[in-house]
């Protein structure tokens, strides 16, 4: 019915965030869908900043959003820092345009000044609600005479400008994901405000002027905008613009099915970035929120996403944000990284933790790479590399109390430690090939299984009972540190009178 192929190469979409200081994952998902749609159709992806709320909008707040988009790899073709033929791309710099089109509307009798105060409006609204009617502006300022206007103005009232909406019929929204949605003009589209008394345009008006002037062909946005769409369509028509195609994508919910918000935990892209989520995983996960390809694939590369994405496959129902699945997916992408890539990702975390210096020598990097090789299958977040690798970098690693109690308090502990200490001391090299047979000799001597020997050693060397394979740990640590750690552990155990 709606063949996307028809719009090949002429597609223009946009993402229009307001600079709130952070990019919500819902916004990121909207940006992603727009971006994928543009790239799929070899179209143009426009970034427009909706900063009409001067109080909230700062340059820094805008930069955070640009940074988040760059982290995700969602590059824009027109917009801040990139220019384009349809600028400016900041709404705050387009005020004259909005005024111009509002004036046009007034000339055509499709907009008028309204002197009702917010208090009066609110009171009437309450009354309507009480009576079980639709809440809408009653149109009382629509046909004011010049004298009446002057009289109202004389009272000190500052007018807003309202749109003179259609007073009959229906407005149809042809939505690419929902089909035709019908709104009754009389009850659903009232004479809404297009210019506030502070001289700024409202969202519903500015968005139409901008999208029309920027030649946007497809408006892909959250479902929360569906109800406002008939208002916007009426403005398009009153201004003589052809409305774009609309696609309202489902909302993103928290585990309790309410709109995903800060109280559900991390919702800002920057936060996920800081916690060590890979952009590839974020993008892949976000792509699956409200979109699916077939009955089996969940892992998609960026190029596959671009190739396979289509609005027709966007689902209609809201999606719950599942952090566990995101974590799993991040692990998948971490495992796909080359060791060098993983190193680049982990380096800042290790530097911040004080494990590595600003300048890393080739030798130390070699060591770090070996550690990463062992850690790779164990990481969910890159940030996990700090906790999981601590004992590889510091010698005064902490001992986990309960683990020590559980594993190092057996009667043979001291003998086992001494035995291993001896083996290590005499070992020509610390690899499995040499050590395993030596350990096996000990097993017979103590009448235990391999785990009975390895676990105490693991706790002694790492302070925990979780680590990569023991021979890898031994080899990485090297003879000197291994011996010192066994001695250190023995001292600790004696001090605490555990042996």
Smallest gap from Cβ 361 to RNA, in A, equals 28
Contact present, 207 and 225 (Cβ < 8 Å): no
Place of tokens 């550690």: 371
Q: What is the DSSP letter of 252?
A: E
Of 418, 427, 116, 380, nearest to 272 (Cα)? 380
Local structure of 114: helix, strand or coil: strand
What track of x and - describes contact with RNA for positions 131 through 170 (by CB under 7 A)?
-xxxxxx--------------------x-x----------
Closest to RNA by CB, 130 or 495: 130
Query: 228: which residues sit within 8 A by CB, 6+ positions away?
Result: 204
Among candidate residues 215, 245, 257, 262, the one labeled active-site is 262
Smallest gap from Cβ 462 to RNA, in A, equals 9
Smallest gap from Cβ 252 to RNA, in A, equals 9
Does 265 bind RNA (CB under 7 A)? Our answer is no
Instruction: Name which position in 10, 123, 150, 258 contacts RNA (CB under 7 A).
Output: 258
Instruction: Name which position in 176, 251, 345, 381 contacts RNA (CB under 7 A).
Output: 251
Closest to RNA by CB, 217 or 287: 287
Count of residues for the chain?
499
Report the site for RNA in 358-387 (rule: CB under 7 A): 377-378
Report the site for RNA in 284-343 (rule: CB under 7 A): 288-296, 298, 312-313, 315-320, 322, 324-325, 328, 331-332, 335
For 221, phi then psi, to 5°, come to -155, 175
Does 93 bind RNA (CB under 7 A)? Our answer is no
Closest to RNA by CB, 72 or 114: 114
Does 196 bind RNA (CB under 7 A)? Our answer is yes
Instruction: Name which position in 53, 67, 237, 415 contacts RNA (CB under 7 A).
Output: 53
Instruction: Name which position in 126, 150, 182, 351 contacts RNA (CB under 7 A).
Output: 182
**What DSSP element (H or E) covers 478?**
helix 470-495
Helices 279-287 and 323-336: crossing angle, nearest 10°?
130
Report the site for RNA in 438-467 (rule: CB under 7 A): 449-451, 454-455, 458, 465-467
Q: 88: cis peptide before it, omega within 30°?
A: yes
Report the site for RNA in 383-422 (rule: CB under 7 A): none
Closest to RNA by CB, 337 or 470: 470
Place of tokens 């494990």: 355
For 447, phi then psi, to 5°, come to 65, 40
Does 74 bind RNA (CB under 7 A)? Our answer is no
Closest to RNA by CB, 254 or 360: 254
Total residues at the site for RNA (CB under 7 A)? 91
Smallest gap from Cβ 359 to RNA, in A, equals 31
Report the phi/psi class of residue 139: left, alpha or beta, with left for phi > 0 and alpha for psi in -120 to 50: left
Cα–Cα distance for residue pair 197/157, rounded to 1 Å: 9
Q: Are strands 218-222 and 245-249 parallel, antiparallel or unpaired?
A: parallel
- If one counts every other C-beta atom within 10 angstroms of the C-beta of residue 472, the result is 17
Cα–Cα distance for residue pair 313/292, rounded to 1 Å: 6
Query: 100: which residues sit within 8 A by CB, 6+ positions away?
Result: none
Smallest gap from Cβ 69 to RNA, in A, equals 16
Alpha-carbon distance values, 444 to 136, 448, 450, 458 (Å) = 88, 7, 10, 20
Instruction: Name which position in 73, 265, 469, 478 contacts RNA (CB under 7 A).
Output: 469
Closest to RNA by CB, 223 or 237: 223
Smallest gap from Cβ 204 to RNA, in A, equals 6
Rounded (5°) CA angle 102-107-113: 60
Report the site for RNA in 197-236 (rule: CB under 7 A): 197-198, 200, 202-204, 223-228
Cα–Cα distance for residue pair 428/84, rounded to 1 Å: 68
Is residue 479 among the annotated active site residues? no
What track of x and - describes contact with RNA for positions 117 through 136 (by CB under 7 A)?
xx--x---x--xx--xxxxx
Smallest gap from Cβ 330 to RNA, in A, equals 11
Contact present, 102 and 161 (Cβ < 8 Å): yes
Smallest gap from Cβ 313 to RNA, in A, equals 6
Task: Tell me the two tokens of residue 464.
Answer: 């925990």
Closest to RNA by CB, 150 or 258: 258
Does 188 bind RNA (CB under 7 A)? Our answer is yes
Active site members: 262
């Amino acid at each position: 019915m709606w063949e996307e192929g028809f719009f090949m190469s002429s597609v223009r979409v946009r993402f229009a965030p307001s600079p709130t200081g952070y990019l919500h994952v819902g916004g990121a998902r909207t940006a992603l869908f727009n971006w994928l749609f543009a790239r799929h159709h070899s179209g143009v992806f426009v970034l427009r900043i909706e900063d009409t709320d001067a109080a909230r909008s700062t340059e820094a707040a805008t930069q955070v959003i640009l940074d988040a988009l760059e982290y995700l790899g969602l590059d824009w073709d027109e917009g801040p820092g990139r220019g384009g033929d349809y600028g400016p791309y900041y709404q705050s710099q387009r005020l004259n345009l909005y005024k111009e089109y509002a004036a046009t509307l007034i000339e055509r009798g499709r907009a008028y000044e309204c002197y009702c105060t917010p208090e009066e409006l609110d009171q009437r609204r309450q009354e309507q609600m009480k009576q079980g009617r639709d809440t809408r502006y009653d149109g009382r300022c629509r046909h004011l005479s010049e004298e009446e206007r002057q009289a109202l103005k004389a009272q000190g009232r500052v007018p807003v400008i309202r749109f003179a909406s259609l007073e009959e019929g229906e407005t149809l929204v042809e939505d690419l994901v929902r089909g035709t949605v019908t709104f009754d003009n009389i009850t659903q589209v009232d004479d809404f405000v297009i210019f506030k008394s502070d001289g700024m345009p409202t969202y519903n008006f500015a968005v139409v002027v901008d999208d029309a002037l920027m030649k946007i062909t497809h408006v892909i946005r959250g479902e929360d905008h569906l109800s406002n769409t008939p208002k916007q369509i009426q403005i398009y028509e009153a201004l003589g613009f052809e409305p774009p195609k609309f696609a309202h994508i489902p909302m993103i919910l928290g585990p309790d099915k309410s709109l995903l918000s800060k109280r559900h935990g991390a919702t800002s892209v920057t936060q996920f970035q800081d916690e060590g989520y890979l952009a590839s995983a974020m993008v892949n996960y976000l792509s699956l929120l409200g979109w699916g390809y077939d009955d089996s694939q969940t892992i998609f590369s960026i190029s596959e996403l671009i190739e396979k994405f289509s609005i027709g496959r966007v689902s209609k129902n809201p999606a719950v944000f599942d952090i566990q699945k995101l974590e799993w997916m991040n692990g998948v992408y971490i495992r796909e990284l080359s060791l060098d890539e993983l190193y680049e990702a982990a380096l800042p975390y290790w530097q911040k933790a004080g494990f590595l210096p600003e300048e890393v020598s080739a030798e130390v990097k070699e060591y770090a790479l070996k550690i990463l090789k062992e850690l790779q299958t164990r990481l969910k977040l890159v940030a996990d590399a700090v906790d999981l690798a601590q004992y590889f970098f510091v010698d005064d690693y902490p001992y986990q109390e309960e683990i020590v109690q559980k594993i190092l308090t057996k009667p043979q502990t001291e003998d086992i430690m001494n035995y291993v200490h001896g083996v290590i001391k005499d070992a020509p090299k610390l690899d499995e090939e040499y050590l395993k047979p030596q350990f096996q000799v000990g097993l017979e001597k103590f009448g235990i299984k391999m785990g009975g020997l390895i676990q105490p050693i693991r706790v002694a060397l790492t302070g925990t009972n979780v680590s990569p394979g023991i021979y890898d740990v031994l080899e990485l640590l090297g003879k000197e540190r291994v011996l010192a750690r066994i001695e250190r552990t023995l001292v600790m155990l004696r001090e605490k009178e555990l042996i």
